[in-house]
Amino acid sequence: MNESHATGSLKVMYVIWTWLLIITIGEVLLAYFKVPVTIMLVVLMGMSLVKAVMIMSWFMHLRFERRSLVLTLIPAMVICILLMSVFFPDSARLGSLGVFR
């Protein structure tokens, strides 16, 4: 095993886990405050993105992978987001028709 592929100490894992817990508690508490929906969604998406990066970096050990692997994952994620955006106008149309009520 290559020494540069060390997984980190338990202390680092506990710190990351604590930050993930704090962000999750922040997300839950945000639901209890009277925040406009647009602001809440932007904040929740940002916090979820930070959590996803932390999980992928530390718990999936992508922090120690080669840059080429990371550079193939980012375009794949962007393509998935773009493909999902194809369905957003249709879901908005169905929502205006009252299908989700």
Domain limits for position 89: 66-101
Q: What is the pLDDT of residues 19-55, one digit of tens each?
A: 999 999 999 998 888 888 888 888 998 999 899 888 8
Both 75 and 60 in one domain: the answer is: no
Both 78 and 29 in one domain: the answer is: no
Rounded Cα–Cα distance for residues 66 and 43 (Å)? 31
* Alpha-carbon 50 to chain mean position: 6
**Would the pLDDT of 86 be above 70?**
yes
Alpha carbon distances (Å) from 47 to 30, 40, 83: 11, 10, 22
6-12 — which CB contacts under 8 Å span 24+ positions? Answer: 6/64, 7/61, 7/64, 8/58, 12/58
Both 19 and 9 in one domain: the answer is: yes
Task: Report the pLDDT value the prediction gives residue 26, as an integer from 0 to 100.
Answer: 92
Both 51 and 73 in one domain: the answer is: no
Q: If you average pLDDT over residues 55-71, what whole number do you get? A: 75
Alpha carbon distances (Å) from 96 to 23, 84, 86, 100: 33, 19, 17, 9
